Amino acid sequence: MATAKKAPAKKAPAKKAAPAKKAAPAKKAAPAKKVAAKAPAKKAAPAKKVAAKKAPAKKRTPNPAFMKALTPSAALAAVVGALPLPRTEVVSKLWVYIKKNKLQDAVNKRMINADAKLKEIFGKAQVSMFEMAGLIGKHLK
């Protein structure tokens, strides 16, 4: 029980240190005002989001030209098939072929390294994925 009496004796000095801590929160009060000043800026942002939510109420309709089935040329048919397909499906099937044959450049993933079949379509050994859609258009009727 002697040890139990020593523990309360240690708590008493901690109470004396409490008045010194009161001075520290007073210093923290000034930065709190800065945080409060930033709060109105955050409140203004949600107002913009509400306005943005109202704008996309109209449903976006896809352009029918993208959905029109087009016949691929012989070179393109070797990769995607001979059946008429929309442009979107042609691009999707080309990406399946590129990934299956690991033709995407390892360092720069935007570049596609053409094999023999793709070289006939693209006309060069390497194209960017952004050029690809334009080069495919020449092979669709």
pLDDT band at 63 (very low <50, low <70, confident <90, very high): confident
Locate the domains of the chain by residue range.
64-137
What is the pLDDT at residue 112? 95
For residues 115 and 98, the answer to whether their CB atoms sit within 8 Å is no
DSSP H/E element including 127 = strand 126-128
What is the pLDDT at residue 64? 83
Q: Mean pLDDT score of the chain, rounded to an integer? A: 77
Token representation of residue 126: 């390497």
The yes-or-no verdict on residue 9 having pLDDT over 80 is no
CA–CA separation, 94 and 89 (whole Å) = 8
Answer CATH for 64-137 from 3.30.70.980, 1.50.10.20, 3.40.50.720, 1.10.245.10: 1.10.245.10
What is the pLDDT at residue 108? 95
What is the pLDDT at residue 48? 54
* Per-residue pLDDT tens over the stretch 79-114: 999 999 999 899 999 999 999 999 999 999 999 999
